[in-house]
Amino acid sequence: MNTPPRVVILTGAGISAESGLKTFRDNNGLWEEHSVEDVATPEAFARNPELVYRFYNERRLQLTNTLVMPNAAHKALATLERALKGQLTLVTQNVDDLHERAGSERIFHMHGKLLSSRCVTTNNTFECNTAFDGLSVCACCNTTTLRPDIVWFGEMPLFMDEISQDIANADIFIAIGTSGNVYPAAGFVINAKDSGAKCIELNLEPSANNWLFDESISGSATKIVPEFVARFIKEYDL
């Protein structure tokens, strides 16, 4: 019986776009008509917390709309995780829960989670599917110290040690629906290549760092990801 390859998959906004979920940032660099400086930095939260709370409450409401569902690409990756039997690490830049709803289990949300709140004092996180604001009481310290559980610009992404270790041990690195512009995630392909992994990109169109990949497949995520997963499972006899 063949030993399954060790696989690390990085997903970005492109995998969730076909689920009816708007990406935060548009072509003009605005996040739902707000500048990054107004809603996605620690300074913005200190300056105008009401706006920041409202922004993420609206995004949370959008995500929990019954029309927003995991698509065929999310489901294909869950199928691949089961086939690889513990040999797959899924790293996502997305703050939605569509991978979980599709059935994926080992997921590192490096930019945080929309359906979560975080205590400013203790850094504890809490599942949160509804709106909250500066008057909401934290469960761990009984004070009003909650913030969105989102990694803002200028903050360190989460789980970097675990992600770096898994990339260093990977046989195959796959990036799906990513721009190749946002670091440190855009540098993962370099780390993977340095460790000897085969690097594959699946994207609507070539990313900014497409030239670093050994193989590139272009097209909509709901088409190319299920097709790729089916070929992968057959090729490795999983």
Active-site residues: which are they? 111
Alpha-carbon gap, residue 89 to 106, rounded angstroms? 6
Helix (H, G, I), strand (E, B) or coil at 237: coil
How many whole angstroms separate alpha carbon 35 and alpha carbon 25? 9
Which has the closest alpha carbon to 55: 73, 40, 71, 74? 40
**Which residue is it, tokens 């999983």?**
238
Report the phi/psi class of residue 221: left, alpha or beta, with left for phi > 0 and alpha for psi in -120 to 50. alpha
Token code pair at residue 98: 């569509």
80-83 long-range contacts (CB < 8 A, ≥24 apart) are 80/7, 80/9, 80/229, 80/232, 80/233, 81/105, 81/106, 83/4, 83/233, 83/238
- Half-sphere exposure of 127 toward its Cβ, with a 13 Å CA cutoff? 1
Tokens in use for 187?
């540098």
Question: Would you say 203 and 175 are in contact if contact means Cβ atoms under 8 Å apart?
Answer: yes
